[in-house]
Amino acid sequence: MRADEPFAMTDRILQQQIAYYRARADEYDQWFYRLGRYNRGEEINQRWFQEIEIVKQALQQIGQADEILELACGTGIWTQELVKIGNKITAIDASAEVIAINRSKLNSPNVEYQQIDLFAWQPDAEYDLVFFSFWLSHVPPELLNSFLGKVYKSVRVGGQLFIIDSRFEPTSTANNHILNDDGSIYKSRKLNDGQEFQIVKVFYQPEELQKHLTEFGFIADVKLTEHYFIYANATKLEN
Ligand SMILES: C[S@@+](CC[C@H](N)C(=O)[O-])C[C@H]1O[C@@H](n2cnc3c(N)ncnc32)[C@H](O)[C@@H]1O
């Protein structure tokens, strides 16, 4: 194996990950709203929506933020929550397709979109709140420190970070995705037409996420909902 092979592999998967979300843009929301392959029946769907409500309330409780940075904003499922608590949102994503959906859904003069690959992103401003949902799990472990370092730089002193992500729960994904607890960070994902992609998916335990955030200097509070979500609210106290 050549010395640069693991890096080449990660890079290839990260490009596939972008390609996957670009190709999935029109069907992405089916996951969140539990439609099609993500519909697990009324009882399990209800559980999902109740837990989403808990996380939404936790986000609302952090209060008003003047300037918000949303990383990997996707189709706007959470951007539409952020416009309720923020005056100006900068929303970044690598996919022009999801940005177009987000823009037309929100139609808000308070959201500015930037199409950027977050692994090449260089932060150039500080925000009252930095937010990302279902993104941290797609950051390969070897790039986590570099990513969190940029996140830390983007939060102003006294500002906050809010993260939402997935717990390991087989009913959270499509019924034709196999969620193996095999230790691999590479997972296969399918579109409705059967097209298959490899992506990175890392499931964090609260203590682990808490440790990473604390190491960067955040005061963090990491919580779980009963089945589906892990979420963290953190404050930056000093530079
Ligand atoms: C699981 S989705 C989450 C979207 C949104 N935050 C939500 O909660 O619905 C992951 C998002 O990351 C974006 N993405 C994938 N790779 C990226 C990269 N390298 N840089 C920036 N965004 C990327 C995808 O386009 C997609 O919108």
Nearest CA to ligand 1 atom 27: 74
Residue with tokens 């929550």: 81
What's the confidence (pLDDT) of residue 1? Answer: 43
According to DSSP H, which parts of the chain are helical? 5-24, 29-32, 42-60, 79-85, 96-106, 141-154, 206-215
94 lines ligand 1 (CB under 6 A): yes
For the whole model, what pTM was predicted? 0.96
Distance 40 CA to ligand 1 centre (A): 24
Distance 138 CA to ligand 1 centre (A): 8
Distance 219 CA to ligand 1 centre (A): 25
CA of 105: how far to CAs of 29, 65, 77, 98, 99, in Å?
A: 12, 22, 9, 10, 10
Distance 170 CA to ligand 1 centre (A): 20
Question: What does the pLDDT profile of the chain (239 residues) look like in tens digits?
Answer: 454 555 678 899 999 999 999 999 999 999 999 999 999 999 999 999 999 999 999 999 999 999 999 999 999 999 999 999 999 999 999 999 999 999 999 999 999 999 999 999 999 999 999 999 999 999 999 999 999 999 999 999 999 999 999 999 888 888 887 777 788 899 999 999 999 999 999 999 999 999 999 999 999 999 999 999 999 999 999 88
18 lines ligand 1 (CB under 6 A): yes
Q: Letter for the amino acid at 87?
A: N
117 lines ligand 1 (CB under 6 A): yes
135 lines ligand 1 (CB under 6 A): yes
**Residues 6 or more apart whose Cβ sits within 8 Å of residue 107:** none
Cβ-count burial 142-170 (b if 16+ within 10 Å, e if not): eeeeebbebbbbbbbeebbbbbbbbbebe
119 lines ligand 1 (CB under 6 A): yes
Vertex 15: Cα angle to 182 and 107 (nearest 5) = 110
17 lines ligand 1 (CB under 6 A): yes
What's the confidence (pLDDT) of residue 177? Answer: 79
Instruction: Determine the CATH number of domain 5-236.
Output: 3.40.50.150
